Amino acid sequence: MPSLEKLIREKKAKVCVVGLGYVGLPLSVEFAKKGFKVTGLDRYKEKVDSVNKGKSYILDVSDEKLRKVVKKGNLKAQVSFSAVEDSDIIFLCVPTPIDEYKVPNLQYVESVSKDVSPFIKKDCEKLIILESTTYPGTTEEVILPILEGCTISPQEKFRAGKDFYLAYSAERVDPGNKIYHTGNVPKVVGGVTKRCTKLAALIYSFIISKVVPVSSCRVAEMTKLLENIFRIVNISMINELAVLCKKMDIDIWEVIKAAETKPYGFMPFYPGPGIGGHCIPVDPFYLSWKAKEFDFTPRFIELAGEINDSMPYYIVKLVDDALNSKRASLKASKILVIGVTYKKDVMDIRESPVLKIMKILLKEEDIRLSYHDPFISELTVEEKIFRSSSLTKNSIKKADCVLIATDHSNVDYNLIKKNAKLIVDTRNVIKDRNIKNVFRL
């Protein structure tokens, strides 16, 4: 039997990707494009069927790209874990959510680890890599015992670094980013042993321009959290300053533009209705939770979370203030929300603060709420189904207030500017400061 290293070098290693979502599908396509035989596993048959038909459901993976690798026989998808038996490298790309109390939920990671474990055998040389974002210690404290065979005797336990290999490498993809994609964002890799790191770095080197090996899984896990904590703290800081600037009658957008002229030591962050998506509002709380084990409260994270949670309420207050300025109120008003996804030009509404804004608005008596989003045709808030209304002169004119919540590129803001009675702009889309009916964050 050739060694795993030889199989990888000769591109004969069989790849299996568990979880065909935003992370797993692009990863599968990248390996398949490079000539590896890839099997994607997902518990949803619809996703599996869609992949096998070459029909993408992820914005960053085109149908054409997917069809090519499927047609070539390099990528196939299935529901059953039986493919793990014949695979050499298994990537785990499953969700790592938090619950309403911001407590980590590792059930997906644990479940797929248990599904993979029966295929770990003495000297099987399979390499398992976790890509999901999580707290430092997950790979070694949660996955390792499952794969080592915690149910068999200590003498018989399979050894990571000998019988199988285990590593962690977080995905850093920024959905919708036209410049940076899986292939050109460096990948940080940490294994349970040096050999685990070496093999994981080797497989990534086929699809990624730069691989950065680190000394352990925990360092790699913490690196991903540092990156996302950096973002939540800075975005929350600018949101806090935006609220203060409003009180002081200072235009925060002008301040940021001016500060940006400093050639060093400053990096712009922009205010908005709150942070959304599956990563930034979620991941930092994995660390907060783990920190409790060390009698430590990471205060920056808690404070950032608090500010982030308060932003949707603040935006509703802005809408109310805007209506009050016209001697109207939220009660019985018609509000048209523009953009419901968590950020521009993506079709993802997970943790979107706009849903929270809509939920708060719906508490108002007789409010008539509608939305327009070119990426989301339908959505449910408080068990009420909404359909994206078309953006016309009429629909804009009918609204008492147009709330620009997400700044998608393909929205006709001029049409809004010309026809809206009142605009609340949370993204600084309307640049003209002379228009009097615009209330800016």
Give catalytic residues, as residue numbers. Answer: 279
- In the complex, the smallest distance separating the C-beta of residue 174 from ligand NAD, rounded to whole angstroms, is 7
Residues 6+ apart with CB under 8 A from 427: 270, 272, 344, 404, 405, 406, 407, 441
Distance CA 313, CA 334 (A): 18
Cα distance between residue 166 and residue 51, in whole Å: 27
In terms of CB distance, is 115 or 148 closer to ligand NAD?
A: 115
Burial degree of 179 (CB within 10 A; 0-12, 13-18, 19+): exposed
Cα 94 from chain centroid (whole Å): 12
The contact set with ligand NAD (CB under 6 A) reads 18-24, 41-44, 47, 93-96, 108, 111-112, 131-133, 170-171, 173, 175, 278-279
> Based on the number of CB atoms within 10 Å of its own CB, is 157 exposed (0-12), middle (13-18) or buried (19 or more)?
middle
Q: Are 346 and 424 in contact (CB under 8 A)?
A: no
Q: Helix, strand, or coil here: 152?
A: coil
Measured between alpha carbons, how far is 373 from 347 in angstroms, rounded to an integer?
A: 9
**Of residues 153 and 380, the one with the C-beta less far from ligand NAD:** 380
Nearer of residues 16 and 354 to ligand NAD, judged by Cβ: 16
Nearer to ligand NAD, 93 or 349 (CB): 93
Q: β-pairing, 187-191 with 378-381?
A: unpaired
Residue 3 main-chain phi, psi, to 5 deg: -70, 160
Q: Which two tokens stand for residue 358?
A: 């809509």
If the CB atoms of residues 95 and 149 are measured against ligand NAD, the closer one turns out to be 95
Least separation in angstroms between residue 132's CB and ligand NAD is 3
Minimum distance of ligand NAD from residue 134's CB (angstroms): 7
| Cβ 196 to ligand NAD shortest distance, Å | 20
Q: How far apart are CA 388 and CA 374, in angstroms?
A: 8
Number of residues that make up the chain: 441
Shorter beta-carbon distance to ligand NAD: residue 23 or 252: 23
Residue nearest to ligand NAD (CB): 21
Q: Count CB-CB contacts under 10 A for residue 398.
A: 15
Are 372 and 388 in contact, with CB atoms under 8 Å apart? yes
User: CA 238, CA 231: separation in Å to the nearest integer?
Assistant: 11
Q: How far apart are CA 384 and CA 373, in angstroms?
A: 17
| DSSP β-bridge partners for residue 401 | 335
Nearest to 37 by CA among 112, 1, 2, 89: 89
DSSP string, 82-131: GGGTT-SEEEE-----B-TT--B--HHHHHHHHHHGGG--TT--EEEEE-
- How far is the C-alpha of 304 from the C-alpha of 306, rounded, in Å? 5
Give least dist CB 107 to ligand NAD, A: 9
Nearest partner of 10 among 35, 38, 41, judged by Cα: 35
